[in-house]
Amino acid sequence: MSPESELVAALQKIQALQPAAVERFRKGNYVFDKRPAKEPPVTEADRWQDLAFWLYTDLCEANLICRQVQEDEVGAT
């Protein structure tokens, strides 16, 4: 496999993480009902919700970066 093909395959795998997470959230009825507050979380549940929100936000950013790189590559050819 060429380095370019490996890169495209890696980007596609990373890009697929966010939609897969959304599907798991829907199936499990998980809901982020608030954004993390600026002050420290009060309860353990708040801490976990804040962590989940930030992890999901990172997945969304990774998805966006992968899509942009792939779109740039398609546009460049």
Number of structural domains in the chain: 1
pLDDT of res. 29: 93
Q: Are 18 and 58 in contact (CB under 8 A)?
A: no
Q: Which domain holds residue 24?
A: 3-76
Residue range 63-72, pLDDT digits in tens: 999 999 888 8
Residue range 4-54, pLDDT digits in tens: 888 889 999 999 999 999 999 999 998 877 777 778 888 898 888 888 889
- Position 77 pLDDT exceeds 70: no
